[in-house]
Amino acid sequence: MARNVRRRTTAALIAAGALAVSALTGPAAQGQADEKITFTVGVSQEIDSLNLSIGLLVVDYEVWNLQFAALTELSDEDFSPLPGLAESWTTSEDGLTWTYSLREGLQWSDGEPLTADDVVYSIERPRDEEWACCYEIIKNLEARAIDARTVEVITSVPDPKLPGLGYVIPKHIYEPIDTEALADYKAEDGIGSGPFVLTDHNPGESWRMERNELWYGEEPYIDEIIFRYFADPDQMVTALENGEVDAIDSVDEDLIESTEANADLVVVEGGQGGFSHVGMNTGDGLGDQHPALADREVRQAINRAINREVLLDEVAGGRGTVGTVIGAGASNIWEPEIAPEDLFTFDPDAANQQLDDAGYLDTDGDGVREMPDGTNPLNFRLHIRADTPSDEEKAQFIGPWLADIGIDTEVLVATEDELTAILGRGEFDMFTWGWVPFVDPSGMLSSLICDQVTVDPDEPLYNDANWCNEEFDRLYEEQNQELDRERRVEIVHEMLRLFYEEAPYVVLYKANDISAYSKEWTGFIRQPADTGPILFTNSSHSYLTIRPVDVPARDGDGDGDATPATDAKDGDGGGLSTGVIVGGVLGAGAIGAIAIASAMAGRRRRSEDRE
């Protein structure tokens, strides 16, 4: 009893103090709200660097997407290129030379003219210095200014990503900073050509972006965006509930249901192709993998022994889709349908039969099969990531399922850095990880070609299944230079079918990103249409159309509200009919970084939550 008394007194004292303080602070916080429209986003990441040669995180890209207008924009529908700073472009017969015409009267936010020189500079410097943001998409390009508003871009190889080109950076800001000094440049001077520019940054707390009056496009409804950092996911949801923020970039798994139950909030699920997988060491690289995994029959049997529906429900809370083929690009038009008879549906009997037929029998009766010659029982190491709690859950399901088909697994735990090294040395049989693809499929597909099988353990490459397939490589080269979009989609479909059939991966599921916003706001845009997220997309267009519900819409801006529930398999098709224009990329390398960074952010959120 005594304790209760004490607590009540403390509570009363605190309450009194709080009221006194709110009385003093209340009016100040509301004073400006009538004049300016401010949209506040809770974010689970802090900016690491806004320097384009350094920054790596999703939040950095959100700032850049808003501050730096791209030469060509990405459509919200399917990422196809739209006029950006360039109002039009033409291409040569051979598709190697592209000529862009800039809009008239473009200016940087500080009033300096934005010219063809800036565009040329934005290709040359990041290419020569291999900037993290952009190198991957511009490495084959040369650019020159024909006149102040005309730029010619020449690619050394046919490139289906063109005419899509990304950020244009202010030459007059970057040029005085030499390579040496660039590493220390914070890039927080807020000079850009996009709809919003950075005006304030309090590290560890928040940053503010205000409307750029000199942006070429139509004025957004909102005057400023505040991004507020939260180190604790629960507190971030509370802040949304309490009206301290208007939207949040992620909702922790445990909080999704309670957030959905809140009538004032909208929860949005969206995906851009990311997937979780079990990789198998197929043995085309270094290492000491189990020989059975070099056999496609064994890998297929493993694919049939894993119940993806259960994993999606139990590990990802049912928020996403069951895995089939890998995701190759941010839009699902790149993913082929697999005919029902070719699907590796959960069927332990069929898996057992397949292993029996291939000669992997349990000759000594210990419940574990051996190689066809009767030696080397099928004991596989299964590496999982220490920094991802859901990996442990996956392993708890996968172990027994594989035991049911006579395969024994030993679960080993490693941090991601350790696992990267282990994969590089090839000292693994199976492991759990995931990928989030680039907008353009070339990036993801290039990770799986023979050239990406690690040869030097000190320089781990990307082909994490040590899988080398000549047909796949040939198709990769073909799609990488195929300028006809429909044909290219077909080739990519063929590659994904081949990969599925060869089964170096078990694609477990494609989990959705979950974000949420307050119903006091409307006008959000998904990218890609119907299935994508609303914020932290590849071009951050929502900020141009969102408005408080009591602000009337302009002509043409419907209530394009993202509805909570969508089937990620819907909304295809539109992309194919846009035909002529090839799928664009706003910094494919950039998006790759986003991908990995967002995966990292997700992990960090989850692991922090457990601490």
Partner 1 sequence: MTLRTILRRSLLAVVTLFITVLLNFLLLRVVRTDPVATMTRGRKVSAEKRAELREKFGLDDSTVVQFLKYLKELLKGNLGYSFQTGRPVTTEIFSKIWPTISLIGISTLLSAIIGIWLGIRAGWRPGSAFDRLSTGTTMLFYSTSDAFLGLLLAYLFTSRLQWFPTGGIVDPRSDAVGLQKLFEQLHHMVLPATVLTVGYLGQYSLVMRASILETSKEDFLTLARAKGSTDDYVRRRHAVPNAMLPSITLTALSIGYVLGGSIVIETLFTWPGLGLAFSRALGAQDFPMLQGLFLVSSASVIVLTLLADLLYARLDPRVRIA
Residue 11 has phi, psi (to 5 degrees) of -60, -45
Closest CB 596 distance from partner 1, rounded Å: 3
Q: How far is CA 189 from the centre of its chain?
A: 27
Which residue number, 110 or 232, has a Cβ lying nearer to partner 1? Answer: 232
Q: Could you tell me the two tokens for 339?
A: 């005919």
Per CB under 8 A, 146 contacts partner 1: no
Per CB under 8 A, 261 contacts partner 1: no
Stretch that binds partner 1, among 101-109, 164-172, 230-238, 547-555 (CB under 8 A): 230-238
Closest CB 310 distance from partner 1, rounded Å: 30
Asked whether 596 and 416 are in contact (CB, 8 A), the reply is no
Residues 28-87 that bind partner 1 (CB under 8 A): 28-29, 31-33, 38, 40, 46, 48-49, 51, 54, 56
CA distances from 428 to 169, 303, 382, 508 (A): 43, 18, 7, 19
Sign of CA pseudo-dihedral 575, 579, 581, 582:
positive
CA distance 213 to 44: 29
**Nearest CA-CA partner of 529 in 542, 517, 519, 546:** 542
Per CB under 8 A, 232 contacts partner 1: yes
Per CB under 8 A, 157 contacts partner 1: no
Residue 63 has phi, psi (to 5 degrees) of -65, -45
Q: How many CB atoms lie within 10 A of CB 264?
A: 10
Per CB under 8 A, 221 contacts partner 1: no
Residue type, 309: E
Residue 51 CB partners (closer than 8 Å, separation 6+): 182, 185, 186, 187
Closest CB 434 distance from partner 1, rounded Å: 13
Closest CB 421 distance from partner 1, rounded Å: 7
Per CB under 8 A, 141 contacts partner 1: no
Which residue number, 22 or 156, has a Cβ lying nearer to partner 1? Answer: 22
> Using CB under 8 A, which of 190, 460, 504, 523 touches partner 1?
460
CA distance 294 to 371: 12
> Using CB under 8 A, which of 152, 241, 313, 427 touches partner 1?
241
Give the number of residues in contact with partner 1, rule: CB under 8 A. 72
Per CB under 8 A, 206 contacts partner 1: yes
Residues 404-423 that bind partner 1 (CB under 8 A): 415, 417-418, 420-421
> Using CB under 8 A, which of 111, 176, 204, 340 touches partner 1?
204
Per CB under 8 A, 500 contacts partner 1: no
Q: Could you tell me the two tokens for 158?
A: 């046919």
> Using CB under 8 A, which of 90, 92, 235, 481 touches partner 1?
235
Burial (CB count within 10 angstroms: exposed 0-12, middle 13-18, buried 19+), residue 419: buried
Closest CB 51 distance from partner 1, rounded Å: 7
Per CB under 8 A, 442 contacts partner 1: no
Closest CB 72 distance from partner 1, rounded Å: 23
Burial (CB count within 10 angstroms: exposed 0-12, middle 13-18, buried 19+), residue 37: middle
Per CB under 8 A, 9 contacts partner 1: no
Residues 102-131 that bind partner 1 (CB under 8 A): 130
Closest CB 449 distance from partner 1, rounded Å: 13
**Buried-state track 359-368, b at ≥16 Cβ within 10 A, e below 16:** ebeeeeeeee
Beta strands 430-435 and 379-385: pairing type? parallel
Stretch that binds partner 1, among 147-155, 179-187, 290-298, 341-349 (CB under 8 A): 179-187
